[in-house]
Amino acid sequence: MDAVRLPGTATAEAARWERATGLHARLSVLSKQITPAYNEWSRLNNVDARPEARAEVLTQLAVLHEESAALYEELTGAEPELADEHRDSAEQARRNSASNREHAELLVATAEAAPANTSSSEGTR
């Protein structure tokens, strides 16, 4: 009925659906990158890896979460009926990104401070 009253409706709906499908495909690819990155992060923690190596993985995770947030924001327009859920997912991805970045920065700061602490304590021995 809408196609009769609004001739471009079917075409617009098909374009919106195609856009949403593409965004979901991109999210799927990101998800397949996020899981192994978290596994690597866990592995590095278990072997007590250098803080810089752990910070690097956290920074990569932050970037992946930022990309996810952007895709979820795009989905709010492509799937307006799910806009609230997509906004929530975008906000969660942004929180994950911020947390990962903050943790990475702390690891780097700790690593940079460690040599200074080691050399000053060695001088007092």
Each residue's pLDDT tens digit, 103-112 = 999 999 988 8
* Ramachandran category for residue 79: left, alpha or beta (phi over 0 → left; psi -120 to 50 → alpha): beta
State CA 105 to chain mean position distance.
Answer: 16
Higher-pLDDT residue of 125 and 18 is 18
pLDDT in tens, 15-61: 999 999 999 999 999 999 999 999 999 999 999 899 999 999 999 99
In percent, the amount of the chain with pLDDT more than 90 equals 75
- Where along the chain do its domains lie? 2-112
Indicate the pTM of the whole model.
Answer: 0.82
Tokens of 92: 């969660």
Q: What is the mean pLDDT of the chain?
A: 90
Q: φ and ψ at 82, to 5 degrees?
A: -115, 20
Q: Which residue has the tokens 């499908």?
A: 21
